[in-house]
Amino acid sequence: MAQPVLDAGRSTSVTRTSADSHRLDLNGLRGVAIMLVACFHIWFGRVSGGVDVFLVLSGYFFVGSLLRQITAAQDPAVRWWTAATPVPRLIRLARRLVPTLAVVLIAVVIGTVLVLPQTRWLATGREVVASALYYQNWYLAFNSQDYTAASSVNSPLQHVWSMAVQGQFFVITLVTALGIGILLKLGARTVLPALSHPVVLRVVAGIAIVGVAAISLYWATMRMSVNQPFNYYDTIARSWEPLAGGLLAVWAPTIARYWLRSALAIGGLALILSSGWWIDGLSSYPGPWALVPVLATMALILSGSTGPTNTPNAPPRMNRLLATAIPVWLGSIAYALYLWHWPVLIFYLSWANTDKAGAIGGLLVLAVSIALAWPTYRFVEEPLRASPTATRSAHPVDTGTAGERRPRQLMTQARMTAAVLLVGVLVSGVAIEAWNRHVSNLRVDTTNLDPTVYPGARAFLDGAPVASVDPQPSPLEVGKDLPITSFEGYISDFTDPEVRVGTYGNPTATRTIALAGGSHAEFWITALDALGKQNNFKVMTYLKMGCPLSTDPVPKQRGVPYPGCFDWVQRVMPQIIADRPDAVFTNTTRPRDNAPGDWVPPTYLPIFAQFAAAGIPVLGMRDTVWPHNADGPIDSPSCLAEGGSADDCGTPRSMALEPSNPTLAILGTNPNILPLDLSEGLCTKDMCPAVIGNTVVYNDWHHLSATFVRSLAPELWRQMNASLPWLRP
């Protein structure tokens, strides 16, 4: 049987039969592909197209193997229910794929505890489960549009998405193919005997593959403009790639001319080697640009042939080069090397506290990955891949000699390896669940912190002295230091269309402030709730994740269209105006997307005009700093947990904020705006640090912790009191 996934095509000679499993050149191609994947990940931070090569080869070998099984099952002597059962093949798939994956997952659990900060343990644990159950691609797809899950970008298991896609493809294709085989077999017995003919089977399979592949490619192309981060991981959008290889397993034209086969081989390999440089795979695959590595792989499949050297049927020189020892050896360990190289890279980067491996570090990562891949292949993948039945039949007599004891030793080794892996998986699962429960049960209560020891923003605003103590909350706990509205459900999530109104402050007060917008408006409820209770005003909340008040008809969340936000704003604005608050508290600025500083987006201005027309003043809060540096966004809690200082994990002020509040420039045409700016509580003249006054500023990538917001309350009250006469005592 052909080896699936990255383990497809191990063989002993270069041949030219449909879906033939004896193609050393294709095993060598796998070796080239895995080196492209590893090198591009380690040194260049780009998508090489190597995964697309694996997808095509997997489809070619897997569909070819299925076709042979179903063709044999059409024999009248074979019972249809025996031919239809997918269980034996599923067991063989699991034996080939799961053990090596289990070894890597166990190592990732251990490495996470030893190397990664505790703030990343929970996310990694969830991805271990997703990877083990082959839904990692969907886990990443759904989290790719949720900024609260941005740490998945640096997950040591992000690469397992392709294993999940292929695993899902294998199972669906297996069940579908066997179903078609059953129908043809039953039809041949009851309606038309010709339905059992192999040609009929190939025609039906070919039509099905072309139809499904066309739908998949259309879906992939259409979804690029809808949600490309999701599209990249989508099994539906990816299925056309292995199906392209499967089509060659069903029907592959014989190319007689040596020069044409040579041209296909040279052109195909050249495109595979170069496409990673001139195609931005992350933003272009699996759309039409993925045809480049897919068609190039198909060309190399077609170019191979059998025949003596220097004859018209000889394999082209390029195929013979791929069939040499080094590419073939790399191909043999490709599956294990693929699984190992990414976590080794991520752990190295975290250990070295750097974002780039560099020349020496990259070579070390590659060498360690290969050093781990070879014994994994030799002592885990090979023994557990071997069929006990095949081993016994090949050596029916054990006479006690060393050579004849080999099968028994292999089976003993396989059983021991399986037992160790099972124990490791169980222990890892228990550890992940225990940590999950621990984090879920964390509670943060910093309301009684001594303000003389933990002054927070008052260290900047009032020059309060700062004692030498560990900051609070801890980097692990601060992830739970959220505004009360998040705990009580008064903020709509990304998929929730409802307007959920909460009441805070003094619920019986006659004066009302409406807190409205996205999560960067939400975190101010910690201060407003306390101020309302102290100063006799009510706070009503109108909040939705990632959704500031804007008239943008095509809002985006992390580059992904977010139509639910526009619809929500269209409904919440009339509701706020109808509720007649005495003022609306919302954001007036946000960071620029591709440039330093902050600005007032033009789509905010019509919102302010609507409130002005209704006679409602706007307490316009300048948005707070979104932590980042020249290398990109910063997950402050994780940065601190890894030993980074307040400045190391902070943001240069010039990168985040304009010299003056951009809101001031629009006051002439928007006199109902009462500007609020607490930037001086978050930044010095040069730096916006991650810890201020012994208080951790952010609870994730860019949301203020409730503890820090509490320390900003006195200054917020001072500015509000100066703006609204009715607030004054």
User: Residues 444-468: what's their mean pLDDT?
Assistant: 92
| Residue 367 shares a structural domain with residue 480 | no
| Residue 375 shares a structural domain with residue 465 | no
User: What pLDDT does 419 receive?
Assistant: 72
Instruction: Say yes or no to pLDDT of 333 above 70.
Output: yes
- Give pLDDT tens digits for 611-664: 999 999 999 999 999 999 988 899 999 999 988 999 999 999 999 999 999 999
Confidence of residue 409 (pLDDT cuts 50, 70, 90): low
Of all residues in the chain, the percent with pLDDT exceeding 70 is: 88
Residue 524 parent element (H or E): none
| Residue 346 shares a structural domain with residue 267 | yes
| Residue 501 shares a structural domain with residue 376 | no
User: Residues 112-116: what's their mean pLDDT?
Assistant: 91
* Residue 103 covered by a domain: yes
In sequence order, what DSSP letters do the residues of 615-653 get, joined into one string?
A: T--EEEEPPPP--EETTEE--HHHHHHTT--TTTTSEEH
| Residue 704 shares a structural domain with residue 556 | yes
Instruction: Say yes or no to pLDDT of 391 above 70.
Output: no
* Residue 157 covered by a domain: no
| Residue 376 shares a structural domain with residue 466 | no
- Give pLDDT tens digits for 562-608: 999 999 999 999 999 999 999 999 999 999 988 999 999 999 999 99
User: What pLDDT does 89 receive?
Assistant: 82
d(CA 253, CA 712): 73
User: What pLDDT does 328 receive?
Assistant: 95
Task: With CA atoms as reference, report the closest residue to 550 among 560, 541, 562.
Answer: 562
d(CA 322, CA 264): 14
User: What pLDDT does 21 receive?
Assistant: 45
User: What pLDDT does 386 receive?
Assistant: 64
* Residue 433 covered by a domain: no
Return the percent helix, strand and coil in the chain, to nearest 5: 60, 10, 30
Of all residues in the chain, the percent with pLDDT exceeding 90 is: 65
- Give pLDDT tens digits for 232-253: 999 999 999 999 999 999 988 8
Confidence of residue 668 (pLDDT cuts 50, 70, 90): very high
d(CA 160, CA 38): 14
User: What pLDDT does 610 receive?
Assistant: 97
- CATH number for the domain that contains residue 689: 3.40.50.1110
Confidence of residue 305 (pLDDT cuts 50, 70, 90): low
- Give pLDDT tens digits for 702-715: 999 999 999 999 99
Task: With CA atoms as reference, report the closest residue to 134 among 89, 110, 166, 172.
Answer: 166
Decide which of 326, 358, 387 is a domain's last residue. 387
User: What pLDDT does 77 receive?
Assistant: 63
Structural domains in the chain (count)? 2
User: What pLDDT does 625 receive?
Assistant: 96
d(CA 200, CA 276): 40
15-19, 68-72, 102-106, 453-457: least confident range: 15-19
207-211, 397-401, 721-725: least confident range: 397-401
d(CA 530, CA 525): 8
Instruction: Say yes or no to pLDDT of 691 above 70.
Output: yes
User: What pLDDT does 75 receive?
Assistant: 66
Instruction: Say yes or no to pLDDT of 331 above 60.
Output: yes
HSE-CB for 726 with a 13 A CA cutoff? 13
* Residue 398 covered by a domain: no
* Residue 446 covered by a domain: no
| Residue 350 shares a structural domain with residue 201 | yes
Mean pLDDT score across all residues of the chain: 87
Q: What is the span of the domain harbouring residue 571?
A: 458-727
| Residue 91 shares a structural domain with residue 171 | yes
| Residue 556 shares a structural domain with residue 644 | yes
* Residue 563 covered by a domain: yes
User: What pLDDT does 216 receive?
Assistant: 97
| Residue 471 shares a structural domain with residue 368 | no
Degrees (nearest 5) of the Cα angle 50, 56, 58? 100
User: What pLDDT does 570 receive?
Assistant: 96
User: What pLDDT does 72 receive?
Assistant: 75
Backbone angles phi, psi at 109, to 5 degrees: -60, -45
- Give pLDDT tens digits for 11-43: 433 434 444 447 899 999 999 999 999 999 999
d(CA 341, CA 157): 10
Task: Cis check for the bond before 473: say yes or no (omega within 30 of 0).
Answer: yes
* Residue 499 covered by a domain: yes
554-563, 666-675, 689-698, 713-722: least confident range: 554-563
User: What pLDDT does 657 receive?
Assistant: 97
Confidence of residue 92 (pLDDT cuts 50, 70, 90): confident
**If you ran DSSP here, which 8-state letter would residue 505 be given?**
E
Confidence of residue 74 (pLDDT cuts 50, 70, 90): low
d(CA 339, CA 51): 12
Confidence of residue 412 (pLDDT cuts 50, 70, 90): low
* Residue 412 covered by a domain: no
d(CA 634, CA 646): 12
Decide which of 342, 358, 387 is a domain's last residue. 387
Instruction: Say yes or no to pLDDT of 543 above 90.
Output: yes
Decide which of 337, 355, 387 is a domain's last residue. 387
User: What pLDDT does 81 receive?
Assistant: 56
User: What pLDDT does 302 receive?
Assistant: 93
| Residue 60 shares a structural domain with residue 174 | yes
| Residue 291 shares a structural domain with residue 207 | yes
- Give pLDDT tens digits for 167-194: 999 999 998 888 887 777 777 777 777 6
Instruction: Say yes or no to pLDDT of 471 above 70.
Output: yes
> Which residue would you say has higher pLDDT here, 37 or 415?
37
d(CA 51, CA 550): 40
d(CA 569, CA 607): 10
- Residue 426 buriedness (CB in 10 A; 0-12 / 13-18 / 19+): exposed
